[in-house]
Structure 1
Amino acid sequence: MIPKERKSVLEGVTAHLLPRGVFAISLPNPTLLARFKDQTETEPTEEAVFTHPQTGNPVQASSIQECTGDGVVWKWHYDHLLPDGKVERLTMSTKHYYTPVGVYTREFQEAGLRVLARYGDFENAPYTPESLYLILVAQKEMN
């Protein structure tokens, strides 16, 4: 999200949390994301193959990153492989901006959220510049 949207979302989160309520967010590691700046597009990566729950046909999931001047657009393609050889494609995308970790921390504080922890994965490993993710866990400050 752009800074104005992030500010609005964090203010909404703070308004809905009880005192000492906890909020967490997970996003791609901004430090690793910044390494995409000099690329225009990455090669497609096959993420998974699974069975469609309604048809029983295979679905191939893949992703690709398109780099812009201010961020990276992540696109996920879900190709539903039909028995007649045709493919139905569903594409979902999201944009991540080149925002330094310190900016996220400051924005949380400005919204009344105290960052309790920074993790780099879902196993609670500490965040490092080489982590795949930035996971922030914050608590609403007491007023």
Structure 2
Amino acid sequence: MGDSHYDWPDYYDIVSSGLEHDVEFYVNLAEEVEGKVLELGCGTGRVTIPIARSEKEIVGLDSNPFMLDKGKRKGKMARIGDHMQFVEGDMREFRFRETFSLIIIPYRSFLHLLTVQEQLDTLCNIYRHLSPGGLIALNVFVPHIKNLYEEDDKSSTRGIYDIPGSEDRLAVWDYTRFDHFMQIAEIIRQYERLSVKGEVIQRIISPLHIRYVYPFELHHLLKLSGFKVLQKYGDFHKTPFGPESTELIIVARKE
């Protein structure tokens, strides 16, 4: 395995459990549409597998083979076969011969697109792969200026976690630095696997870069790509989006 943030899927699953009610939100949305679903940035199938359990046909696409391999193993353990498929690919340039009724980008995966051109390429690619009137749904964190400056150039403890099937524990730290001009966050994550005695058995340092987007910026990107925004929520309980919201969930339709 390499040193990418996503090359360690077992540790990723321990630390990245998602956001409150996000799985239920995307499952419910998938159940409301007729036709097939595509998930971009599916990772190890945290959202993909529950949607497949609801007997919706879904394709999960991700660029990291380690994440996909674990997703496939989890799918087999859940005894999900015909409803789900995992595919390796890039959300900017994937190609399918079929179209989809719903394309989702959960858990802020849209932020992996580091330039405006990459964002537009992805949204236009999604547009091409949606059926007439098809929906796109995604969520991103809201970059409040005060928080960006308070968290800049700082280390924070993410937590100490139990490791399933082991007496070892996993300690996780993040160092975050912001480029406010380019809207890029550089996150250096450090994993330390600790023995029962507290000794460090393994240490992994993994980099991650994301480009945060502001709410009106995302709205305009969608409009430029041919979408009409239908709903904007501030959380996955469908609270209306407002000034105090820390998350932006958008549902838009192909026009």
| 2:118 equivalent in structure 1 | 5
* Residue 37 of structure 1, CA deviation: 4.4
* 1:53-83 deviations in Å (ceiling 9; x for gaps): 4644211234342111332334444332245
Find 1:51's aligned residue among 122, 137, 162.
Answer: 162
Find 1:96's aligned residue among 208, 211, 233.
Answer: 211
Return the alpha-carbon distance in structure 1 between the equivalents of residues 157 and 218 of structure 2.
28
Asked if 2 retains the 8 angstrom alpha-carbon contact of 1:115 and 1:137, the reply is yes
* Percent of residue pairs bearing the same amino acid type: 22
Return the alpha-carbon distance in structure 1 between the equivalents of residues 196 and 150 of structure 2.
41
Unmatched tracts of structure 2, length 5 or more:
1-113
TM-score, length-scaled by structure 2: 0.47
| 1:112 equivalent in structure 2 | 226
Instruction: Give the number of the structure whose residues are more often strand, by fraction.
Output: 1
Which runs of at least 4 in structure 1 moved beyond 4 Å after TM superposition?
none
Asked if 1 retains the 8 angstrom alpha-carbon contact of 2:167 and 2:195, the reply is no
Return the alpha-carbon distance in structure 1 between the equivalents of residues 187 and 248 of structure 2.
16
1:18 to 2:136 alignment? no
Asked if 1 retains the 8 angstrom alpha-carbon contact of 2:151 and 2:176, the reply is no
Task: Please give the root-mean-square deviation of Cα atoms over the aligned residues, in Å.
Answer: 2.4
Unmatched tracts of structure 1, length 5 or more:
none
Find 2:193's aligned residue among 70, 80, 87.
Answer: 80
Structure of higher RCO (CA pairs closer than 8 Å, 6+ residues apart)? 1
Asked if 2 retains the 8 angstrom alpha-carbon contact of 1:78 and 1:89, the reply is yes
Return the alpha-carbon distance in structure 2 between the equivalents of residues 93 and 129 of structure 1.
28
* 1:77-114 deviations in Å (ceiling 9; x for gaps): 433224571242253523223x4322211110111111
Return the alpha-carbon distance in structure 2 between the equivalents of residues 39 and 114 of structure 1.
34
55-64 vs 19-28, which moves further: 55-64
The secondary structure found in structure 2 opposite 1:44 is strand
Cα 1:28/1:64, change in 2 over 3 Å: farther
| 2:101 equivalent in structure 1 | none
Instruction: Give the number of the structure whose residues are more often helix, by fraction.
Output: 2
